[in-house]
Structure 1
Amino acid sequence: MPPSAREAANEQRRRLHHEADVVVVGAGIFGCAIAFALARQGRSVLLLERWLKEPDRIVGELLQPGGVAALKKLGLGDCLEGIDAIPVTGYSVIYYGQAVGIPYPLNAGADLGSTGGDTKGNGEKPSRPEGRCFHHGRFINQLRQACAREPNITIVETEVTKTITGTHNPQVLGVESTTRNPKTGLREKGYYFAHLTIICDGYASNFRKQYINRKSVVKSRFYALELIDCPMPTPNYGIVILGESAPVLLYQIGTHETRALIDVPENTPTASPAAGGVRAHLRNVVLPSLPKQVQPCVEAALADGKIPRSMPNSWLPPSTQTEPGVVVLGDAMNMRHPLTGGGMTVAFSDVVILSSLLSPERIPQLGDTAAVRRAMKEFHWRRKGLSSIINILAQALYSLFAANDSQLKALQRGCFAYFQKGGNCLDGPVGLLGGIIHQPMVLVYHFFAVALLAIWLVIKEV
């Protein structure tokens, strides 16, 4: 059968009989990317999402250079165009008013391909790799539109309620959902079947407890403000502000908009109801620690009298799964503190790895559960090169930057002094942070170097 005829037959099968090679639950970052990647391999894909309106979220707005490279490798690089995305060329850490710039390393281009690189003998200066900041919803819309243009994908607005398991064996055969009938307004049951069901329904997953034995841990929340026409201390940099309060992040998500994410740990005394709540904490503790040029914009954002939108900062270690016919991935399977902005980079990297392991050349039929299980086992080992680095960095840096005891404060001072040294003391850490370096031993080296420097600074003080 010619490819076009086969695509038409598969489309009719998806639309009329709700059958495909793959059912993907959740049209977010991971769901759109894996649906697109598998469809490009010739798989028939049903992409199910409960709400296809443009999402309005306060995280998932910073994509590191490693994530940009993975996105381009998947053929989705154009999704960063036309959404007023802002280039990001590094980080700036402001420690009690002192600032140090940490640009992405110049020699990273060979690993990142078109996101940056060294010269090729043409006399031009090497360019630094770049990340991107943007409105999350605009980026999601671009990903969904890319999926909608793929002839091997059918997108359905429906709310998945449970998985369907065979009566004679435990294999998952698909999912059950409810869909609103536009004529009657009533919700009607529907059933979608596939050889493989990929569940990626986000941080608040409804299916995690069914297939994963671990629970997410939340120790703080990010409260978000949108600052208008805010003068950035370091343009085109992600900014981390450290002081008496927990970390504050600043990054520009549009020509006129800057996102401020303010971390508030659980049981913070100055954010308790008796002390005036979160707004009092933001005004009395956080605001004075911010750069002077930023403070008026924060005051304006707080002027509406409302408690800013917030989101839990979750930690969920990754899990391998052995259930036949189904896998849980994305934030539903693995989360880390969003301080380092590495979540989307891990997701796109995971899709690159997984799509290669599930390719028709390796697994002709996804109904071969034994082959899929072997592929998933390899996937969980191969992803560690990047995911372990991002996960460890996110949790360790948050514990360090939110330090509230003398020993961690000493280590915090050592970390900032390490950044001030420049050179490899910058290139290594920011290369790891940006998803550029995939070598865990580099992380170990810099951790020990920071610890030794912190000890030396304490000895000098004593």
Structure 2
Amino acid sequence: MTAPCDVAVIGAGPAGCATALAHARAGRRVLLLEASRRPPTRLAGEWIHPGGIAVLHRLGVGMPAPLSRPALGFVLHPEDRSPPITLACPRGGRAATVRHCELVAALRAVAADHPAITLTLGARVTSIRHTTVVYTREGGPEQHVRAGRIVGSDGQASLVRRAIHSGAPATTTPATTTAPATTVSRTAGVLLRGLTLPAEGYGHVFAGGPGPVLAYRLDDDTIRVTIDVPLSSRRSPDLPSYVQRGYARFLPASLSGPLCAALEQRAVQWAANRIRLRAFHGRGPYALVGDAVGTCHPLTASGLTIGLRDAECLARTEDVAAHGRRRRAAVRAHEHLAAAMHRIFCDPGRPTRDLRRSMYAVLRASGSERERMMRLLCAEELGLLPLAGAVLHVAGHAVRDQLVAGRCRTTWRTSVCACGDYLSWLRWMSRPPGHSWGW
């Protein structure tokens, strides 16, 4: 039996390392277990919003310049070639981009140096029995450790999540906590070198294709490009021609040519975009953080920031249920926004196109709306009212345009039908968490 600890954290990704550091800074003895000895090289989060940067600073983790790049916000490029819309980080804050593997390596190094944290790499957890974690190291004998709190930061297929539900009576496990994640699209990720972005220091979102394209700088020579690919599309062999047909004309020539060339060379990584509402954060001595809780569409680039905030919030309380209530309230508006952004950039229907044009007009005309949009995007709004205000502003603009069009170009019946379509959109947006996000 390994010596007992106050907290056992399973998974030493960004959320797991932050969880270990936050608990250690609160005076707890922490065992941090990770199955892999090396940082992951898969396509994963590389953007940290200002709120996530603030958490890292409070945990004593800096973002060294050689590993990260500061980011000022996003630039949205409409498909009609109208002027781009700059969305700066809220209140003049700064985001950062960093390769996922380098972020993980840096966080593990900080955790390993903390005297209250025991980082064990190559430790594969095989079971959780009440408050005892059972694991093996590189095929060796089973080791057992008792912990006052067990935290699952082990991703979407969390062993801790499964262990919680396997030991709970069906009557105490709501369907929203056990529902499987829904795959809504796929992301193709490509690294391009030796190129410049239309405006350096920003992430760039290009609309118009079957899904949005996001591009941002990782280092002096490297740009990351991610393409949201619908599930209905064919995969790898036809991807270059698919991107050429569906996306390239909406990208600047400086990006589209190198992107298609990289795809021709199969220099692409894939990730499934899965949605699981963050309705369950654990119970009793068991807690979940990061992707183990749930995920939203990656267009909002919020996964790292939300996971870091989970970690800090959890370490401040002994009550996992209260922690879950706070975190659900903190991300509810953001989850609705993420679903809306996925639909507004991917749904080819006419009502969505109208609303997208209205969104462009509203954001272009109003600095306060741009600020509100970025607060929602960065998960800094704690209630649904700001989201409702933003949505109603866009919908009202679309209705006004339709009524004007009814007087000038189309029949009133057409305008009334269009307004009915917008109302259906609003009903879709207003559904409570736990419903399918399909449209």
In the superposition, the TM-score normalised over structure 1's length comes to: 0.80
Residues 67-78 of structure 1 aligned to structure 2 (within 5 Å): 67-76=52-61, 78=62
Following the alignment from structure 2 to structure 1, what is the Cα–Cα distance between the partners of residues 187 and 93?
Answer: 28
> Is 1:238–1:250's contact at 8 Å kept on the other side of the alignment?
yes
Following the alignment from structure 2 to structure 1, what is the Cα–Cα distance between the partners of residues 321 and 159?
Answer: 24
Partner in structure 1 of residue 435 of structure 2: none
From 318, 323, 329, the counterpart of 2:278: 318
> Is 1:93–1:99's contact at 8 Å kept on the other side of the alignment?
no
SS of the residue 2:141 aligns to: strand
Following the alignment from structure 1 to structure 2, what is the Cα–Cα distance between the partners of residues 56 and 344?
Answer: 16
Partner in structure 1 of residue 108 of structure 2: 144
Following the alignment from structure 2 to structure 1, what is the Cα–Cα distance between the partners of residues 222 and 312?
Answer: 31
Partner in structure 1 of residue 85 of structure 2: 101
> Is 2:283–2:320's contact at 8 Å kept on the other side of the alignment?
no
Partner in structure 2 of residue 370 of structure 1: none
From 71, 75, 81, the counterpart of 1:88: 71
Partner in structure 1 of residue 252 of structure 2: 291
From 330, 337, 360, the counterpart of 1:416: 360
Q: Does 1:302 align with 2:263?
A: yes
Aligned-pair CA distance for 1:68: 1.2
Aligned-pair CA distance for 1:22: 0.9
From 264, 271, 292, the counterpart of 2:229: 264
Following the alignment from structure 2 to structure 1, what is the Cα–Cα distance between the partners of residues 279 and 127?
Answer: 19
Once the two structures are overlaid, the 10-residue window that deviates more, 399-408 or 145-154, is 399-408
> Is 1:56–1:137's contact at 8 Å kept on the other side of the alignment?
yes
Aligned-pair CA distance for 1:218: 0.5
Residues 60-209 of structure 1 aligned to structure 2 (within 5 Å): 60-76=45-61, 78=62, 80-96=63-79, 97-104=81-88, 108=91, 128-165=92-129, 172-180=130-138, 186-209=139-162
Aligned-pair CA distance for 1:177: 1.6
> Is 1:410–1:458's contact at 8 Å kept on the other side of the alignment?
no
Following the alignment from structure 2 to structure 1, what is the Cα–Cα distance between the partners of residues 229 and 87?
Answer: 27
Following the alignment from structure 1 to structure 2, what is the Cα–Cα distance between the partners of residues 322 and 316?
Answer: 15
Aligned-pair CA distance for 1:20: 0.8
Q: Kindly tell me: are residues 284 and 18 of structure 1, through their superposed partners in 2, closer, same or farther at Cα, counting changes over 3 Å?
A: farther
From 238, 246, 249, the counterpart of 1:277: 238
Aligned-pair CA distance for 1:319: 3.0
Partner in structure 2 of residue 372 of structure 1: none
Q: Does 1:355 align with 2:286?
A: no
Following the alignment from structure 1 to structure 2, what is the Cα–Cα distance between the partners of residues 51 and 74?
Answer: 24
From 228, 231, 242, the counterpart of 2:193: 228
SS of the residue 1:59 aligns to: coil
From 309, 317, 327, the counterpart of 1:383: 327
Instruction: Supply the AA of the counterpart residue of 1:236.
Output: G
Following the alignment from structure 2 to structure 1, what is the Cα–Cα distance between the partners of residues 239 and 89?
Answer: 38
Q: Percent identity among equivalent residues?
A: 25
Following the alignment from structure 2 to structure 1, what is the Cα–Cα distance between the partners of residues 264 and 275?
Answer: 32
Following the alignment from structure 1 to structure 2, what is the Cα–Cα distance between the partners of residues 250 and 332?
Answer: 27
> Is 1:73–1:352's contact at 8 Å kept on the other side of the alignment?
no
From 10, 17, 38, the counterpart of 1:53: 38
Partner in structure 2 of residue 249 of structure 1: 214
Following the alignment from structure 1 to structure 2, what is the Cα–Cα distance between the partners of residues 70 and 272?
Answer: 38
Render the CA deviation track for 1:266-289: whole Å, top value 9, x for unaligned: 113xx369xx63332123222232
Following the alignment from structure 1 to structure 2, what is the Cα–Cα distance between the partners of residues 266 and 95?
Answer: 23
Partner in structure 1 of residue 384 of structure 2: 440
Q: Kindly tell me: are residues 39 and 48 of structure 1, through their superposed partners in 2, closer, same or farther at Cα, counting changes over 3 Å?
A: same
Give unpaired runs (5+ residues) of structure 1.
1-15, 109-127, 166-171, 181-185, 359-374
Render the CA deviation track for 1:298-317: whole Å, top value 9, x for unaligned: 1342242x272110111111
Q: Kindly tell me: are residues 307 and 81 of structure 1, through their superposed partners in 2, closer, same or farther at Cα, counting changes over 3 Å?
A: closer
Following the alignment from structure 2 to structure 1, what is the Cα–Cα distance between the partners of residues 249 and 389?
Answer: 35
Q: Kindly tell me: are residues 299 and 93 of structure 1, through their superposed partners in 2, closer, same or farther at Cα, counting changes over 3 Å?
A: same
In the superposition, the TM-score normalised over structure 2's length comes to: 0.84
Q: Does 1:26 align with 2:11?
A: yes
Aligned-pair CA distance for 1:439: 4.1
Q: Kindly tell me: are residues 230 and 204 of structure 1, through their superposed partners in 2, closer, same or farther at Cα, counting changes over 3 Å?
A: farther
SS of the residue 2:17 aligns to: helix
Partner in structure 1 of residue 299 of structure 2: 339
> Is 2:78–2:208's contact at 8 Å kept on the other side of the alignment?
yes
> Is 1:250–1:261's contact at 8 Å kept on the other side of the alignment?
yes
Render the CA deviation track for 1:214-257: whole Å, top value 9, x for unaligned: 21110100001101122101211111111132111111111111
Following the alignment from structure 1 to structure 2, what is the Cα–Cα distance between the partners of residues 386 and 70?
Answer: 15
SS of the residue 1:188 aligns to: coil
Give unpaired runs (5+ residues) of structure 2.
166-176, 411-439
SS of the residue 2:84 aligns to: strand
> Is 2:239–2:263's contact at 8 Å kept on the other side of the alignment?
no
Aligned-pair CA distance for 1:432: 1.9
Instruction: Supply the AA of the counterpart residue of 1:179.
Output: R
Following the alignment from structure 1 to structure 2, what is the Cα–Cα distance between the partners of residues 323 and 84?
Answer: 37
Aligned-pair CA distance for 1:321: 5.6
Instruction: Supply the AA of the counterpart residue of 1:136.
Output: H
Following the alignment from structure 1 to structure 2, what is the Cα–Cα distance between the partners of residues 338 and 344?
Answer: 10
